[in-house]
Structure 1
Amino acid sequence: MDTGIGADLEPHAYTSGRWLRRDSLESQSRYIQFNFDALCRRVIELSPGAGSIRACRKLEGGFNRVFIFTLDSGKEIVARLPFQLAGPAKLTTLSEVATVRYLQAKTSIPIPDILDWSHDSTDSRNEIGCEYIIMEHAKGVPLRQKWQQMAGNQRVRCIDSIYRTAREMVDLEFPAYGNIYFDSTLDDVESQSLGDGFCIGPHCGARYWDCDPGDQRYYHVAKGNQGPYTGLSRVPPTDGEDEKRPMYHGSPDAHLALLKSVRQVLKQMAADPRIRKSSTPLLFHPDLHTRNIFVSGDDPCIVTSIIDWQAASVEPAFWYADEMPDFATTDAICTKTFELCSQFLTPELSGPRLMDDNLFRPFRYSWRTWKDGAVALRHDMIETARLWKDLGLVGPCPYPLPTPKDIAHHKKEYRLFEAAQQLRTNLSDLLNTTSEGWVPSDDWEETRLAHKELFRGMLEAVVSNQEADDDEPVKDEKTLRAIWPFDLEE
């Protein structure tokens, strides 16, 4: 059956936008080869009373392509196809399906029913030819469509409703960190049973796997490392791009030495009773914002569906502590309501949030040192060592404070690092892009030209600045190019 629907949609290619950084690579990583007609047939087969597809919309997020099918019966069905950067093949889809089924079995959280799925693109029974999940459309309307029109008291009641719903997943208990799977699907992979056919298995977060476009993994130091010390496998044996990197980035040897020191610090800190308590294995929604929450069209204080459980995993409680949902940042009343609801309904989450953030910083960022530069993690280590006694940590800090000379050099590098972060933020604001430089397709040419002009203007300002003092981190063209976050056209 040739539906003819896919011709206008371009179902395989990414068409929603382009990137100012690694544009071709980003687009290629979101190309999906599959049989769109077979997907259409399967949607109709799963919809009793329907004979054809009346319309289809394509939506594209950071990790998935979504098709919303409207059938001749009036029913809407959703198909989600993951990009390769969403996580490890097979495991990502397996875990999402199992997580949804587990929550539906153990809680009353409203989640759309999964009608069909496949985690294996090579399975001969999978005529669609890629990983997919087909599900019911979420009931209600997206909260983000209602939020701005809601009165203050409605927003307060809605936030309370969201956290009363969330409390059910926070109350679940788990024996380990990782992702939820069906017992029957992991074969010989190490796992811990949750009972009723479910288990905890490998963490399938993209940060632990070779999923990001252009980011490679190396196992000359940490073979097969997909755990808390995964930062070691991001460091290459040699750095062929060292001449183009900013001075704060650091050599491979510097990164490895730093990460090995950090390992000792993390082990000693993990023994602290406060950190142990804040490290309770906990399941929470990874992206609990208004775009993923659906509410009743008649009463927006009633939560009718929560969607997008793809990256849901069992993490230490403190991992979620610094997350601030968008509905909590609207105004002071919403922020206060969020804080109170979190404190009284999900104390496991609010407890770490109320603690000194310096207790958790080394745990959060050590996995991404090669991406950020050695200076960022080194700064966290220096601050941890400096505050060790004030934080109430027992014994001497395994990471010794650097000498005054080394501290002075570090401060110089860290000023440049901060300038680089501020530059990325400012450019994103000026160009109206994401921090990765994503631009809607309709705005591409205009944004690309504006980006070129911004670089020219800033380069002229840097080169012509004859009064730059020693504290000025960006003094020449080479440094500006090294910290510029987006690709520069020659």
Structure 2
Amino acid sequence: MKDPDSELFNYTTGQRRRVFNIPGLFTIITKALHCKTEEIVGFRKLAEGGFNRTFLVTLDTGFQLVARIPYPLLTSKAYTIASEVATMDFLRSRGLPIPKVYTYSFTSNNEAETEYILMEYIQGTDLSQIWFDLKKDQISSVMRQLAKLESIMMSISFPAGGSIYYARDLKELSGNEGIPLKDEEGGNSLEEERFCLGPDVCPPLWYGRREQLDVFRGPYEDARSVLLTGAKKELAYLDQFGSPRMPYQHLRREYYNYEKQPPSDHANNLRRYLQVAPSLVPADASLSAFCIRHPDPSYNNLKVSTDSSGLQVLSMVDWQHAVVLPLFLHAGMPDVISNEEDEVSRSMVEPKLPFDFDKLSETEQEWEKELLRRRLVHYYYNLFTAVYNRIHPKGLVYPFNTFRRRIFNHSIAIWEGETIKLLYALTDMMLDWEDIAKDGTPCPVLFTEDEILAAEKLYQALAKAEINEKRLRDLVGYGDETWVPIAQYEEAKAFGQEIKQLTLKACKEDAETTAEVYAAVEAKLALGRHRRRGVGGVQVN
């Protein structure tokens, strides 16, 4: 098929494209399955994600498989694909329900003229399709099964950290053989001798021009190395490519007086972080043991059966960007499960509907049912994690471990014109130094009282702005990073423009609003009239 406008090459609800050679892909499929091209009777788009597009291939025998094609924006494409395939194979060999990979290529030098993975097609329902309609017993069942699966994967011991590869692939990619995975007796088994640990494939280490940097990305010999690597990477990026820029999120720019921020501020805070990072390693050595966890253990990546026997998890998919890390960095509740902001959820008392539920209005009842669902998900995940996954809870409750993960994530994150999150975490660490370090050494990073107050003021103001931005996002109907399905773009754009005009009018009537600020917002409004392509749709400015 040569038609460049084919829907097979385009994102159905957006603007992302990936053109490849379909007859060439069919040739690859026939070689992998030992069949003939004419036996392929079906080829259709199955799903579109943030980094890949998948296709369902059907043979005349009824056999089906999935062909997954990455988008050009995936970085680092070769390392990520090679690692995901090896990770799936390794974990599948340990009994986890993961699709079988038939063949793959982490380069485009093949008949299909694209990188690809051909894998097993799992019959069933995506949990995301029924997530918000689950009943209490179904929530309990799914959370129990998830806890058991996480227990299996997190109990696998590793000699080091990083991402998993086939030794032959890593040799081809980097010239290095990595750190081999050995069996529990210490020798290489026939099954595992082909696996090794190599560079970490988490996106912040490779994003954009960071892929060009000649920096260390693993494998990690110890927890200290993990804590330092991301910050060193970002320092190298800022040194080579950093230049003043506006904060990425538009609604936050007001708090910086609409001025470009210098990369030196973030670089200074990264250097401060490097001074204190070694003290983040927990005193309990068991928390530094390397383990693996699904990079996004949410309803989006679970396929279930929905027959009369009840919900059964059939498969865990999308192992892209999976990394072996110390337990204290892997511990934490998935975002779609955590409901920590809710007092009832924090109390870990089994949630129920309010006693006066029948007297509430229909709208109030719907709200209470949704609130109950979120509480049940949180409750049962915690309950069954404590019962079946004895490793994970230790990291969940260890003192200051949430803080450890938070400051680590800020240190590895890509610089988007702000440093306040890392700065605020550093001030917190200085204030709680004695409880975190516990070795009697003085904190190597010091802030004045004025600096702490200024950071607190800016952080809280931006936190409030984030809440307002979320409300605006819900009103206009766009997602993270201003994504909106193209079918809803014009409506969302019109509503967004109306809000901007009302905002400008309010600013103009405010005597305290300066002409400079008004001019800056007006300029932003003019710029926002241009459409910008987003992730799987269009960005609304």
Superposition pairs of residues 377-456 of structure 1, within 5 angstroms? 377-391=422-436, 393-394=438-439, 395-400=441-446, 402-456=447-501
Q: Secondary structure, in 3 states, of the residue corresponding to 2:386?
A: helix
Structure 1 pair 419/144, CA: closer, same or farther in 2 (3 Å)?
A: closer
Candidates 224, 228, 237, aligned match of 2:215: 224
Q: Is the 8 A contact 1:161 1:301 kept in 2?
A: no
Candidates 36, 39, 43, aligned match of 2:25: 39
Q: Is the 8 A contact 1:140 1:294 kept in 2?
A: yes
Q: Is the 8 A contact 1:94 1:119 kept in 2?
A: yes
Structure 1 pair 250/336, CA: closer, same or farther in 2 (3 Å)?
A: same
- CA apart distance, 1:319: 2.9
- CA apart distance, 1:365: 0.9
One-letter amino acid matched to 1:233: A
Q: Does 1:115 align with 2:111?
A: no
> Residue 397 of structure 2 aligns with which residue?
354
Q: Secondary structure, in 3 states, of the residue corresponding to 2:102?
A: strand
Once the two structures are superposed, what CA deviation does each residue of 1:398-419 show, in whole Å capped at 9, x if it has no partner? 111x223333433443344324
Candidates 314, 324, 327, aligned match of 1:317: 327
Q: Which range moved further: 449-458 or 69-78?
A: 69-78
Q: Does 1:56 align with 2:44?
A: yes
Give the Cα separation in 2 of the matches to 1:170 and 1:155: 22
One-letter amino acid matched to 1:96: E
- CA apart distance, 1:84: 3.2
Q: Is the 8 A contact 2:168 2:177 kept in 1?
A: no
RMSD of aligned C-alpha atoms?
A: 3.2
Q: Is the 8 A contact 1:284 1:313 kept in 2?
A: yes
- CA apart distance, 1:82: 1.5
User: TM-score normalised to the size of structure 2?
Assistant: 0.76
Candidates 196, 199, 205, aligned match of 2:196: 199
Q: Which range moved further: 189-198 or 65-74?
A: 65-74
- CA apart distance, 1:236: 5.3
User: TM-score normalised to the size of structure 1?
Assistant: 0.83
Structure 1 pair 380/372, CA: closer, same or farther in 2 (3 Å)?
A: farther
Give the Cα separation in 2 of the matches to 1:406 and 1:287: 36
> Residue 91 of structure 1 aligns with which residue?
79
Q: Secondary structure, in 3 states, of the residue corresponding to 1:259?
A: helix
- CA apart distance, 1:46: 4.5
> Residue 317 of structure 2 aligns with which residue?
307
Give the Cα separation in 2 of the matches to 1:234 and 1:423: 32
> Residue 383 of structure 2 aligns with which residue?
340
Q: Secondary structure, in 3 states, of the residue corresponding to 1:287?
A: coil
Structure 1 pair 154/374, CA: closer, same or farther in 2 (3 Å)?
A: closer
Superposition pairs of residues 74-223 of structure 1, within 5 angstroms? 74-105=62-93, 107-122=94-109, 126-187=110-171, 188-189=175-176, 191-195=178-182, 196=192, 197-211=194-208
One-letter amino acid matched to 1:183: A
One-letter amino acid matched to 2:86: A
- CA apart distance, 1:384: 1.0
> Residue 367 of structure 2 aligns with which residue?
none
Once the two structures are superposed, what CA deviation does each residue of 1:373-402 show, in whole Å capped at 9, x if it has no partner? 1122111111111122244633221111x2
- CA apart distance, 1:208: 0.3
Q: Secondary structure, in 3 states, of the residue corresponding to 1:56?
A: strand
- CA apart distance, 1:287: 1.5
> Residue 65 of structure 1 aligns with which residue?
53
Give the Cα separation in 2 of the matches to 1:161 and 1:425: 32
Q: Which runs of 5+ in 2 are unaligned?
A: 183-191, 218-228, 340-372, 531-541
> Residue 236 of structure 2 aligns with which residue?
233
- CA apart distance, 1:351: 2.0
One-letter amino acid matched to 1:172: I
> Residue 528 of structure 2 aligns with which residue?
488
Once the two structures are superposed, what CA deviation does each residue of 1:338-368 show, in whole Å capped at 9, x if it has no partner? 0022223223322222233234322121122
Structure 1 pair 294/283, CA: closer, same or farther in 2 (3 Å)?
A: same
Q: Is the 8 A contact 1:174 1:282 kept in 2?
A: yes
Q: Which range moved further: 410-419 or 442-451?
A: 410-419
Q: Secondary structure, in 3 states, of the residue corresponding to 2:54?
A: strand
Q: Which runs of 5+ in 1 are unaligned?
A: 19-26, 469-474
- CA apart distance, 1:369: 6.0
Q: How many residues align?
A: 458
Q: Secondary structure, in 3 states, of the residue corresponding to 1:81?
A: strand
Structure 1 pair 375/218, CA: closer, same or farther in 2 (3 Å)?
A: farther
Superposition pairs of residues 241-320 of structure 1, within 5 angstroms? 241=245, 247=256, 250-270=261-281, 272-274=282-284, 276-298=285-307, 299-320=309-330
More helix by share: 2
Q: Is the 8 A contact 1:369 1:376 kept in 2?
A: no
Q: Is the 8 A contact 1:259 1:366 kept in 2?
A: yes
- CA apart distance, 1:15: 3.5
- CA apart distance, 1:121: 1.1
> Residue 23 of structure 1 aligns with which residue?
none
- CA apart distance, 1:480: 5.7
Once the two structures are superposed, what CA deviation does each residue of 1:427-467 show, in whole Å capped at 9, x if it has no partner? 32122222111111211111122222222222322332346
